[in-house]
Amino acid sequence: EDKVVQSPLSLVVHEGDTVTLNCSYEVTNFRSLLWYKQEKKAPTFLFMLTSSGIEKKSGRLSSILDKKELFSILNITATQTGDSAVYLCAPRAYSGAGSYQLTFGKGTKLSVIP
Amino acid sequence: EPEVTQTPSHQVTQMGQEVILRCVPISNHLYFYWYRQILGQKVEFLVSFYNNEISEKSEIFDDQFSVERPDGSNFTLKIRSTKLEDSAMYFCASSSLGGDGNTIYFGEGSWLTVV
């Protein structure tokens, strides 16, 4: 059975801190890994990682994938209160007949306090 | 920025009633999905849909569930006879292509409460 483990489950930091969110996965027919930010409702796309060791950056956020060790990290520098959300890791696997499927972790709930 | 839209945002229904959740995927997207998230739990895959047919479904997606693309823009999820355990947030999603390398965009969700 496919497994996605995110850690920590919950994190409280002060504004300006740097955080690292972890995601380890065991997924059959792995193809890529997506990170989403979920504030109140819809998961909002952050990154898609397909290659090992290549860091993707978007402002204060960055992410990297290690396909050998089967994990990914999401870094947020100089955190702001607006970064407070649940961060979801979702490996994508090929499930046959041209179909791909996301498997979500439970998420890391980040709370940034002023 | 184009977005996936869903209606209703919240629906309360009695057990045993039929429910239809509606979605308008991003206009040039060809692959459509339904996911659900029971309160406090993970987001779970239900079904993917391409070329007017189901391409993949999970074990959650039993005979009580069906999907349809009734016209060129809408994508619906029907639950035939709702159960208490169907209470969840249902997310519609779409992608331009189904292959790897294509981002899946999610709607705001429809919160279903079965009483």
Which residues of chain B make contact with A90, given a CB cutoff of 8 A? 43
- Find the range with the poorest average confidence among A76-85, A102-111, B6-15, B92-101: B92-101
Contact of A106 with chain B, judged by CB distance below 8 Å, is answered with yes
Work out the average pLDDT over A81-93.
95
Out of A34, A41, A95, the one facing B56 most closely (by C-beta) is A95
What is the structure's pLDDT at A97? Answer: 67
Test the A interface: residue of B31, B42, B91 with most A CBs within 10 Å: B42
Decide if B48 and A101 are in contact by the 8 Å CB cutoff: yes
Number of helices (H) and strands (E), helices first, in chain B?
0, 11
What is the structure's pLDDT at B99? Answer: 61
What is the structure's pLDDT at B98? Answer: 61
Angstroms from B96 CA to nearest CA on chain A: 13
Pairing of strands A61-66, A10-14: unpaired
Q: Which residue has the higher pLDDT, B72 or A8?
A: A8
DSSP for B22-34, written as a single string = EEE--TT--EEEE
Decide if A99 and B89 are in contact by the 8 Å CB cutoff: no
What is the structure's pLDDT at A79? Answer: 98
CA distance A112 to B6: 30
What is the structure's pLDDT at B24? Answer: 96
Residue ranges of A 39-68 with Cβ closer than 8 A to chain B: 41-45, 48, 50
Work out the average pLDDT over B99-112.
84
**Residue (of B32, B29, B18, B6) closest to B89 by Cα position:** B6
pLDDT at B2 over 80: no
pLDDT at B83 over 90: yes
